[in-house]
Structure 1
Amino acid sequence: MQTLIAALGAAALVSTSALAQSQNETAQAIFDQFAQDYPSLNVTVMVEGEIAFEAEGGMMRSARDGVTTDYNVYSTAKLLTGLAYARLEAHHGLDLDQSVRAIDPSLPAAYEDVTLRQLLSHTAGVRGYTGEDDWIAFSDRRCALPSDALGHFIHDPLIAEPGAAHAYTTYGFVLLSHLLVELTSADSFDAAMSAALGEVYTAQSDSDSADKATAYYDAGEGLAPLPLSAECKFGGGGLIASSREMAQMGAALADGSVLSAEDIHAAFTPIQTSAGEAVSYVYGMEAGFEPSIGLHYAAHSGGSPGGRSFLMVYVEPQVVVATTANADGANHYPLALALADLYAGYSQ
């Protein structure tokens, strides 16, 4: 009998190994289709907290452009910031519906009715970029703390009544970055994120001196290096991380470290604006529930001249996909979705 059991166990191991090999071969083929369009592209897939697949590619790779090299993740930082607030609410009782002026009374009076939850869902009425000149002007700023960045937008009128409409804004997440520093009494944004997330937080704030992959942009006659710092964007788009670090942070959402299984469904339910619009952007991420397969999912993309990233989290099967690249290009959603479905066992 023991011989039979041992034989069955060995057969199961062979079957599991063969499946993993087949998945990885398919994943590599999918990845290779995308990698040829980037100077450097990396991907990390985690299943139940373990790395299942990693790949590196690109047409201009250097020896340092690997899955553990830091890249600008741009707006994917909003998802990571959302995780910090979600954990503070779930584990420390933070009231996301309080006025932001209760946290920082020095904010303009127009923010009296603005709440943390509205900022996290882009429904607070904070303006976004008004155009390329505004984007460049903000990118040219240098900031040690999120409070240093507020002067660029904080005194501008709100573009809508708080809670009335959904309008995507990086500036709203710069304000959230400042408020996180205030809430945690930290001396830096990274320290505030660590205070909220503990060991889950493995990214870091961008700066002129940051050790990260060289960024490239399309100069019209080919790719050219692009010195670019997003250091005033903090949790709105100013973090750097590797694909492996991003996947590990996403895995904390999937494994219950940030929100319990009981909290996930409520947290991923769309919110309603005062005008009746359903907004699926909650906790700094696109989140939802697919009832046909019982799947809660969260995702966010980030991109700018010089980089592109994506983080996809499937909660129930605990499948996480993170991508990083050092040039902008087509949204990484098709790549991340294909890999997430592959390792979750969903057919396209």
Structure 2
Amino acid sequence: MYDVPVLQPTIDQLMARYAGDVPGASLLVLKDGEPVVRRGYGLSELERGVEAGPATNYRLASITKQFTAAAILLLAENGALDLDDPLRQWLPSLPPATEGITLHHLLSHTSGLVDYEEVIPPTMTAQLRDADVLRLLEGQDRTHFAPGSGYRYSNSGYALLALIVERASEQDFQSFLRDRIFLPLGMHDTLAYVQDGPGIAHRAYGYSWVDGQWTRTDQSQTSAVLGDGGIYSSIDDLAKWDAALYDDRLLGDESRRLAFTAVTPTDAPAVEYGYGWRITGDSVWHSGETMGFRNVIVRWPQRRLTVILLSNRNDPEPYRTALEIAEPWLAD
């Protein structure tokens, strides 16, 4: 077993870019369910000099997808829907080209759906919501490939999944996540953020390096779409999420098996995709990237090891840093 105080200088060196009066990060290493590294670096808000820490809430971006997938799996367990349900059974306003797409295809990015970000008209300048994604796709009677015949990472698919959660549960998406996932797990500061809803406690604001300085870039036109990236959370709350993925306190054995089972190769070597999770060797992981935030969660379930790195800046990419931080425990 490695001595964490001995490792701390090495970890601090890996995290040095986040330290000081700059947009920062929060780092958590869990081993056998216990936090062996838990700390913040840098600032969560430059303008007021607020330090980042374990309770700081970051916009998770695409790490949200594992929660959207979990919501669908919970509803499947309850018999409210089936993973083989046709997409148009739930969203019949979609055009004929989407015939044959199932919920399974949406979860695994094998639907071939058109990317909603690429068909936003110039006249549409307000922030989009998940329902707006549906309206955009209603006008796209085409797909990139036949369902199940390829892989194409799809924010469109996960926005539609959020709408299906709403229709199957008869709750809005943010309330379903709160009632069925966050509160049962004690994730009291985690939420899918909507402008007219509850505020974000201990909020980190996003920044990008522009013309030689850090500039606040906290929200984009697509930041309000919930199903593909709208959750805010902290490393402390995500520790509770990680713990729940080892047993049946939230999802049953079969649902967790489905989430972590490779369905398809991706467009990256040695990376496959399950339901809201990438799979590489004995690790399951997901990154989250949006304007002003870059995050990653990497789990090695057989080793009971998890590294979570959340940051409120557009650079650097955190996945490789997380792997380097994990190396001593992986070598043990």
TM range (shorter): 0.7 to 0.9
Moved more, 236-245 or 98-107: 98-107
Give the structure 2 partner of residue 83 of structure 1: 70
Shift of 1:269: 3.3
Residue 175 of structure 1 deviates from its aligned partner by 0.5
2:151 paired with 1:160: no
One of 315, 320, 331 as aligned partner of 1:329: 315
Cα separation, 2, equivalents of 1:193 and 1:74: 15
Task: Say whether residues 1:49 and 2:24 are aligned partners.
Answer: no
What is the rounded CA distance, in whole Å, between the counterparts of 2:40 and 2:31 in structure 1? Answer: 19
> What is the alpha-carbon distance in structure 2 between the residues aligned to residue 263 and residue 244 of structure 1?
24
Scaled by the length of structure 1, the TM-score of the pair is 0.77
| Structure 1: gaps of 5 or more residues | 1-15
Equivalent AA in structure 1 for residue 98 of structure 2 = Y
> Which entry has the higher C-alpha Rg, 1 or 2?
1
* Among candidates 23, 34, 40, match of residue 39 of structure 1: 23
Structure 2 vs 1, CA of residues 93 and 231 (structure 1 numbering), >3 Å: closer, same or farther?
same
Which range moved further: 234-243 or 198-207? 198-207
* Aligned residue number for residue 193 of structure 2: 206
Counterparts of residues 205-224 of structure 1 (less than 5 Å):
205-208=192-195, 210-211=199-200, 212-224=203-215
AA paired with 1:68? A
Q: Which residue of 2 aligns with 1:269?
A: 261
Bigger CA drift: 133-142 or 107-116? 133-142
Q: Distance in 2 between matches of 1:80 and 1:137?
A: 32
The separation in 1 between residues aligned to 2:153 and 2:274, in whole angstroms, is 12
Q: How many percent identity over aligned positions?
A: 25
Residues 301-348 of structure 1 show CA distances to partners (whole Å, capped at 9, x for unaligned) of: 111221111111221232222221111113211222233343xx3129
| Equivalent residues of 2:264, 2:273 under 8 A apart | no
SS at match of 2:156: helix
**2:258 maps to 1:301:** no
Matches within 5 A, 1:228-243: 228=219, 230-243=222-235
Gaps of 5+ in 2: none
Q: In 2, Cα distance between the equivalents of 1:181 and 1:108?
A: 20
Q: Work out the CA distance in 1 between the residues paired with 2:39 and 2:233.
A: 16
- Tell me how far 1:201 sits from its aligned partner: 7.7
Contact persistence 1:308–1:324 (CA under 8 A): yes
Distance in structure 2 (CA, Å) of the matches to 1:286 and 1:221: 34
Aligned partners of 1:28, 1:283: CA distance in 2, in Å?
Answer: 33
**1:221: how far off?**
2.4
The CA deviation at 1:239 is 1.6
RMSD between aligned residues? 3.4
| Alignment deviations for residues 17-69 of structure 1 (CA, whole Å, 9 cap, x no partner) | x8344455554443336547951111122233332221211277633532212
3-state secondary structure, aligned to 1:334: helix
> In the alignment, which residue of structure 1 is the partner of 2:166?
181
Q: Which amino acid aligns with 2:112?
A: G
Query: Partner of 1:320 in structure 2?
Result: 306
Once the two structures are superposed, what CA deviation does each residue of 1:196-238 show, in whole Å capped at 9, x if it has no partner?
4362383312344743222211221211122415543202012
Change in 2 beyond 3 A, CA 1:261/1:184: closer
Please tell me whether the aligned partners of residues 119 and 176 of structure 1 are also in contact (alpha carbons under 8 angstroms). yes
Counterpart amino acid of residue 321 in structure 2:
L
Change (3 A) 1:32 1:136: farther
Deviation at 1:112, TM superposition (A): 3.1
Distance 2:272 2:123 in 1: 30
> Which of these residues, 63, 88, 99, is aligned with residue 101 of structure 1?
88
Distance 1:347 1:90, change over 3 A: farther
Q: Is the 8 A contact 1:119 1:172 kept in 2?
A: yes
Deviation at 1:299, TM superposition (A): 0.7
Secondary structure of residue in 2 paired with 1:172: helix
- Paired position in structure 2 for 1:250: 242
Relative distance call for 1:244 and 1:150 in structure 2 (3 A) is: same
Cα separation, partners in 2 of 1:32 and 1:252, compared to 1, 3 Å: farther
SS of residue matched to 2:240: helix
Task: Name which of 216, 221, 225 aligns with 1:225.
Answer: 216
From the superposition, tell whether residues 313 and 302 of structure 1 become closer, same or farther in structure 2 (CA, over 3 Å): same
Distance in 2, Cα, partners of 1:313 & 1:94? 29
**Contact 1:104–1:182 at 8 Å: present in 2 too?**
no
Q: Which moved more, 1:19-28 or 1:190-199?
A: 19-28
